[in-house]
Structure 1
Amino acid sequence: MIGLIRETVSLLGLDMRAERRRVRDRQVPKASVRSQPAASVASNGEGGHQRHNALMNQEEMSSPIPGIYRAFGDFRQPSRYIVDDLYEPERIEYEEMLGGRPREAIEAVDFGLVSWGPLGFLVPEAAAYLLPRLMELAEVGSRDRSGDLFLMRFINYISLGPSSEEFSLLGSQQRLAVAEYLDHVALHHMAVVQEECWDDVLKKAIQLWSCG
């Protein structure tokens, strides 16, 4: 019943945000989201390889994802992903959607739709294990089965806050990693978050996790 209420509230929120987007689109042309241009790297000769390696190292240092995986490194893959208190066909289908796969093999499309998918019904062990992958999928611009940016699904999910049962296994190190990633999203991805009308939810999530 709790899961049904959560999904209903989420859908109502999506309808309101969709209407806000339609009003905004009638007012101004919707800006296209462009990825940052790739740096031009010389590929011939030893100097080219050195510059390429230096750029790769710089990208790894600037990405928050490696540090997030380290923060969650003690969590192992659980024997199941989905909570027991779901109507049986739904629980089985959600479990099958994730397929018992390790987190690195799970993609955004495996979480289905906002109205029908396993995100939000994870046991605490699964949430702790999958969170680094969720943040990675959000960071790289992955899209879910309906073609929507997974970043917005993640923001909605994480806005439950650290006191939610799903996140009960997280310690101070993991809560800090989540808080820092949300700050990263606000700093580097706020334009697209505002365009998709999830900025208020992001601000709420930042407040909850910064106090967690």
Structure 2
Amino acid sequence: MLYSLFKNSCVCHIVSLSFLKHWLSNPASVGALAPSSRYLADAMAEDVRSFDAIVEVGAGTGAITEVLVRKHPQARLVLFELAEGLAAELARRYPRAEVIAGPFHENAKVLEGLPERTIFVSALPFRSLPASVIALTVDTLAQSLRVAPVRKLVQFTYQPRAPFTPPAGFLWHRCRTIWRNAPPASVWQLIQV
């Protein structure tokens, strides 16, 4: 048991160092002072059941990825992470996942051929990204969601309003607020109408 506690604390310490290093190099791309809590990760993974593929956009240090893998081990997993160092760490930790290092909107071609029952999970800090990046990312997400009516996006934000203006044909639904996260975060779903 002591080994297990030591091992778990070391993993958290390593992840925290990765997060801190990335935050110091590019704080606007992170949008938080700490990785997502396990409570937020659980809430993000809650609505993912019954999907054949999961696309995580902005996987970061893998706080949400870890829960997605644990709760949905059979789902095909595609991870997008802009920072090459974090993407390399994700590829090492999740060898069954397809990890793409680089901007989501520039690499969306890898999404072709995914099953209709694909869900998108995002931790992108839309409120702190440049407007041009938001527009390209939202457009790419909307195109990917329109492939099948069952597809949706699960996104969190630290602000009380929706993460971004929904594209035509979509609607935001606020699901829950996670108070046990620093700072508290709201989980939203972008669905087709």
- What's the TM-score once normalised by structure 2's chain length? 0.33
When Rg is computed on C-alpha atoms for both structures, the one with the higher figure is 1
- What's the TM-score once normalised by structure 1's chain length? 0.31
Bigger share in strand: 2
